[in-house]
Structure 1
Amino acid sequence: MTNNFKRHRRLRSSAAMRSMVRENKLTTDDLIYPIFIVEGENVINEVPSMPGVFQISLDRVVDEMRELNALGVHAVIIFGVPNEKDEHGTGAFVNGGIVQKATRLIKKEVPELLVVADTCLCEYTSHGHCGVIHNDDVDNDESLTLLAKTAVSQAEAGADIIAPSNMMDGYVTVIRQALDEAGYTSIPIMAYAVKYASSFYGPFRDAADSTPQFGDRKTYQMDPANRQEALREAASDIEEGADFLIVKPAMSYLDIVRDVKNNFNAPIVAYNVSGEYAMVKAAALKGWIDEKELVFEKLTAMKRAGADLIITYFAKDIAKWLNE
């Protein structure tokens, strides 16, 4: 028999061989863990649509952060869930806001952790939208002023990275200018550059209590049918001073992750969103899938597509599996 074909299986012959030639590897350094901070004391509320994800009160935050740090997960993104809301989302930018309190506490007690502050208004507005409402729509430019105030207040509290998720036009320019004028020139912006109006966000809105009270977010978040628009959005954010580019969601938008990676010389962050998490957890609870294997496959696909970092609710699970 003439062996005139390639023997690709030679490099798959054992676990050690496969590991040695593996092109993409998932590590805890790749992960950013989202946390939901609520007011009150001794609160640990599991989110019904997100098994294993909890709303926690400030007095429980430090224990959670120490556990993460011990597991090797060294970055968190903070979402605040205040008791009181108003039309302008005042709780997002006041000095005593819940994200600001949590940031100060984490940086005092676990200073080695990187704190990423989600910079948006939707959790704090009575109407659930990401800005100021006029004529039943979000006023882009008026909202920018409040978002800039939010970013500066988060930086003052000690946030290491500002992550604006609002999708207002010009938000990176305005926030960068506000941070620089306040003396925070070294604080990077992790821009939600490509954020689609996705059905995968439902469980997050349960966790963050941020469901719009009317309409939807399709006038400011992107149409899932569009691909070229993602490049226009990312290009604007880079030109305006973004240091990281987030693509959200991740799993159903891996082509967009690769497009953004190919076109921009900046760290790319894939957001493995709540609906993607919830589907896996639901199937795992039914015994329909091997959760560990599926999660590693899914998140490795995000790295293969070009993600340098991944925001994921699986971060603690992955860290535990990697440490087995």
Structure 2
Amino acid sequence: MDHKTTELDQGWDYLQKGITKLKKILEEQPVQPFSGEEYMMLYTTIYNMCTQKPPHDYSQQLYDKYREAFEGYITSTVLPSLIEKHDEFMLRELVKRWLNHKVMVRWLSRFFHYLDRYFIAQRTLPALNEVGLTCFREQVYNVIKDKVRDAVIILIPLPPVDERKKVVEDVDKDRRYAIDAALVRIMKSRKVLGHQQLVSECVEQLSCMFKPDIKAIKKRMEDLITRDYLERDKEIPNLFRLQLLLVPQSRKIIELHDKYMAYVTDCFSSNTIFHKALKEALEVFCNKTVAGVSSAEFLATFCDNILKKGGSEKLGDEAIEETLEKVAK
């Protein structure tokens, strides 16, 4: 190369030959490594093109072409080699391409080093090394990252059955603790809660952590009745038991009474002896306690709730009157 003004096309053609040789080395093609003379000629060409007087100072153009050299190589060679492979083979190719890319960045940044020393420093632009690595991230990593993730997951060995079982048990235990905590928080913040309302509020609180299982919540509600720590506050466990069992327990009592009253009426022609026996048996049953609350108390509270708000099932006037008549029997 002489010391006359080097035009952009002329200088870039010479630089392209050096870049092409570097690519062949990376692709393990039969080519001689760079000699000291070749290295100095490439560096000198860039130096001359950057130090010529305007309008022949091609620093900005060379900075742009430095990036284009990476982008072209990635588009023509790197990405196709990754896309055509899958799973472990794709991961191995990715490792190889990443190592090659770092070699390419190291060599090209040496050729274009004069840009780093003056042009880039004066313009506060990203350094050559950063530009090269950014090209790989944007054009390779961002394109295949989902594919890489899936391939890595496939290669991760599954834990032993016992270990997987323990993980499931630990998750279930954590969810039970979360349900317990939610129920206690709700009961401490609200004085009166219907059975279904308690379940709904618990579901709402837990939804941000996991998908709540209503059956599991109801089971934990039943278990909490006998938990010792609730006994530290007498009002909360009593309210909890009443509201938890109020609707299902009271309706079962009414249904039980209706069932055996039908036997007395239909099968025994309303015989007074059977009427008396049913009445006495029901009185004994109503005086029995469940979780510290008698069945009679359940029925009384049940009636009170129906009169106040029509119950949790939104009963109409006729249904309310019919229900109260059954309780009175």
TM range (shorter): under 0.3
Q: TM-score, normalised by structure 1?
A: 0.22
Larger radius of gyration: 2
Structure showing the higher helix proportion among its residues: 2
Structure showing the higher strand proportion among its residues: 1
